[in-house]
Each structure stands twice: as structure tokens, then as C-alpha cells.
Amino acid sequence: MPKFKLEYIWLDGYTPVPNLRGKTQIKEFDSFPTLDQLPDWGFDGSSTQQADGSDSDCILKPVAIYPDTTRINGALVMCEVMLPNGDPHPSNARASILDDADAWFGFEQEYFLVEDGRPLGFPKGGGYPDPQGEYYCGAGFKNVGDIARTIVEEHLDICLDAGINHEGINGEVAKGQWEFQIFGKGSKRAADQIWIARYILVRLCEAYGVDIEFHCKPLKGDWNGSGMHANFSTKHLREVGGKDYFDKLMAAFEKNCEEHIAAYGPDNHLRLTGLHETQSIDQFSWGVADRGASIRVPHSFANNDWKGYLEDRRPNSQGDPYQIASRILKTVAEVPTS
Ligand code: ADP
Ligand code: MN
Ligand code: MN
Ligand code: MN
């Protein structure tokens, strides 16, 4: 029987942004294992800010498995962290997402590739490259630099091989800034895949001496920050919708504005300034095709009797997609559908 290398991956207890952790377990299976064949495992929570040394055991409960073609017989196993009594650990935001197979999310993850603390493509000796303008979806050494595209292409292939549902990638507005989009049906699926895609990316970059900067505003001055727009829809939004329901939904989003911001990633006041295609952090607004609004309503939504999906533009690149999906579905659940 082949021996499989199972990389159990979880989120640690650091705040406000959890780190990805992973360790390998070797197990024999006839063929690539299914989720229900995978045993729970444990780790030392005192090394991850999830437990005291005197009572350090935390449980890893597998919740999704993906092939890992970078290793022979490899698998990436996303896990929830549980307490020894079987309850979710307080750091386990995934467990707080309402189960809904008909909730769909599409996240647009922006990030910077950095080397020695500076974005890839910034002059090595210091100083700045040309101002923003030609980098977005750009090509050529002067716009993209030398190894950035190699990295993002390799990342894309590893993710696609793993079954991650990438919808696309593009070079972003700032030099060294990139984006990938992941879409998933089911309230937890896209969030699981964002975390696995982040894991694959940071691990891939080790060999290049490159780090990923997920912070939402790593560069001062006239350089774009990084977001993670959350596109979402429910069965009701897609199939029933209507202006009346939409208005009630937006009223609930406005009422919960602070709770949403709290779940949307740290330091967002640096990014949500009202400039660079954002709404200010302390204001809530929606608008058809409006990239300066908190929530952008696609033309396709307004023209289809207010049915379809919506884009919450506030979540940032460092946000935890579990907390984001959880908060959005909580607010949606506050609004009666009839
Ligand atoms: P932008 O102009 O903001 O970059 P995109 O068209 O690139 O917009 O991204 C929109 C995203 O919306 C897609 O990547 C997809 O994942 C997501 N999306 C499309 N339809 C739905 C839907 N019905 N429910 C949830 N998300 C959706
Ligand atoms: Mn996009
Ligand atoms: Mn973008
Ligand atoms: Mn967007």
C-alpha cells in the first residue's frame, strides 16, 4: 500500500491575524484517501497561542482534503482546531459559519510579493519604480520584473492540480501586487480554498527567497492597498431577490457596519479612506456599479429585478475568509425572506 504524506494545516491563535501552520503525518491507504478516512490528530497548542503549557493538547479535525502534486503521494488537509472535549476552539472561526450548501462566495485575494521587505520589482538599491499606471494587467520586464510571473504561474498550476476553484489571476495596480480569484458553492468551500491557496503560495515562495505581504496597506503614498472583495449570494438572492428584500438587506448591513469591519481584517482604516476605489471605513453605502461604495451592486443584479450576487468591497487582503463569510451570513440571516 502506498504511503501518503498528509499535510494537516490549521490556523493558530495569533490575533488579529492567524498564521497558517502545518505538519505532516504519514499514513497508508490503497488510493488517495477520502475525508472520512482521515483520523483526527493533535498538536501542542502552547506553541501556537492556543493553550497553556500545563494543558497543551489541541485536536485537529480534518474538514477538507486536496491533492498536493508538489510531493509524491501528497495531500493538503485543511483542519479545524477543537478542544479535547470536542467543542470548537475559540480560535476556530470556521465553526461559526452557518451551514448553507446554497450560499456561494467568490473572494478576490490581492497580495504583494516582497523580497528584503520591498515589493518585487522595486529597485534593489532603494528608491521607487515608475508610479502606478502601467502595472495593472501589465506585461514586460519593466512592469512585472523577472520572477514574479514564474511564481504566480507555478502557484496557479499547483492550485488547479489540487482542485482549488481558481477563476482567474491578474497583475494588480501596484508594482509587485497580484490577485487571484476563487469561487465556491457552499458557505465554507471558497474560504477553505482561500486558506489552502495562501498556504501553497507562502510555501512555494520559500525557495525563491520571497515572502507574501498580505497587509492591506504595505506602502505609504500613492500606491494601492490590497483588498479581498467578497462576492456573495444565497439561493433567495439568486432566485427571488426584489428591491424590497434588497433594501432590507442593506439596512441590516448598515446596522451591523461595525461588526462587519471588525471581521474584515486589521488596519482597514489605512485602506478604506474613500480614495483608491474604496468607501471610508466609518460610512456604509451601496451603489450600482459603484467601486467607491461599501457594497457594489453589479448591473446584472439591478437589471435582473434585484436578483443575483453582491460584492462587499470592504474585506481586506489580510482578512480571515472564515470570519468574513461567517459575518456576512449572520447579517443575511437577520433579514426575513418573506
Ligand atoms: P471585479 O470587477 O470586482 O474584479 P470580477 O468579475 O472579477 O469582479 O469578480 C466577480 C466575482 O464574483 C467572480 O470572481 C465570482 O467568483 C463571483 N461571483 C460570480 N457570480 C456569483 C454568485 N452568483 N454568487 C457569488 N459570487 C459570485
Ligand atoms: Mn477582481
Ligand atoms: Mn483587484
Ligand atoms: Mn472586485
Q: Which ligand is nearest to the CA of 167?
A: 1
Residue 97 lies in a domain: no
Check pocket membership of 312 for ligand 1, CB cut-off 6 A. Answer: no
pLDDT at 256: 98
Residue 222 lies in a domain: yes
Is pTM beyond 0.95? Reply is yes
Q: CATH no. for residue 205? A: 3.30.590.10
For 49-53, 74-78, 99-103, 105-109, which range has the lowest pLDDT when averaged over its residues? Answer: 49-53
Q: Indicate if the pLDDT at residue 55 is higher than 90.
A: no
Indicate whether 70 and 163 sit together in one domain: no
DSSP β-bridge partners for residue 21: 10
Nearest to 186 by CA among 98, 253, 298, 314: 98
Check pocket membership of 245 for ligand 1, CB cut-off 6 A. Answer: no
State how far the Cα of 275 lies from the Cα of 277, in Å rounded to an integer.
6
Q: How far apart are the first and last CA of the chain?
A: 55
pLDDT at 54: 86
The rounded radius of gyration (Å) of the Cα atoms in the chain is: 21
Distance 222 CA to ligand 1 centre (A): 27
State how far the Cα of 218 lies from the Cα of 221, in Å rounded to an integer.
10
Indicate whether 168 and 264 sit together in one domain: yes
Q: Ligand 1 pocket check: which of 309, 310, 314, 329 to mutate, most ligand atoms within 8 Å of Cβ?
A: 309
Atom of ligand 1 nearest to the CA of 308: 23
pLDDT at 338: 82
Check pocket membership of 311 for ligand 1, CB cut-off 6 A. Answer: yes
pLDDT at 275: 82
For the segment 210-231, what is each residue's pLDDT rounded down to a tens digit? 999 999 999 998 999 999 999 9
Distance 108 CA to ligand 3 centre (A): 7
Domain count, the chain: 2
Q: Which residues surround ligand 2, an ion (CB under 5 A)?
A: 108
Check pocket membership of 167 for ligand 1, CB cut-off 6 A. Answer: yes
Q: CATH no. for residue 81? A: 3.10.20.70
Cα angle 333, 335, 338 (rounded to 5 degrees) comes to 110
Residue 30 lies in a domain: yes
State how far the Cα of 326 lies from the Cα of 320, in Å rounded to an integer.
10
Question: How far lies 233's CA from each of 283, 288, 301, 330, 335, in Å?
Answer: 23, 16, 11, 13, 14
More confident residue, 221 or 192: 192
Pairing of strands 228-233, 286-288: unpaired
Check pocket membership of 109 for ligand 1, CB cut-off 6 A. Answer: no
Indicate whether 23 and 143 sit together in one domain: no
Secondary structure of residue 302 in the 3-state scheme: helix
Which residue is listed with cell 477563476?
Answer: 167
The domain of 86 spans 3-92
Check pocket membership of 183 for ligand 1, CB cut-off 6 A. Answer: yes
Average pLDDT over residues 306-335: 98
Q: Which ligand is nearest to the CA of 313?
A: 4
Q: Which ligand is nearest to the CA of 107?
A: 1
Indicate whether 143 and 234 sit together in one domain: yes
Average pLDDT over residues 15-23: 96
Check pocket membership of 12 for ligand 1, CB cut-off 6 A. Answer: no
Indicate whether 54 and 152 sit together in one domain: no
Atom of ligand 1 nearest to the CA of 183: 16
Check pocket membership of 110 for ligand 1, CB cut-off 6 A. Answer: no
Name the domain boundary from 30, 58, 92. Answer: 92
Name the domain boundary from 92, 117, 138. Answer: 92
Check pocket membership of 180 for ligand 1, CB cut-off 6 A. Answer: no
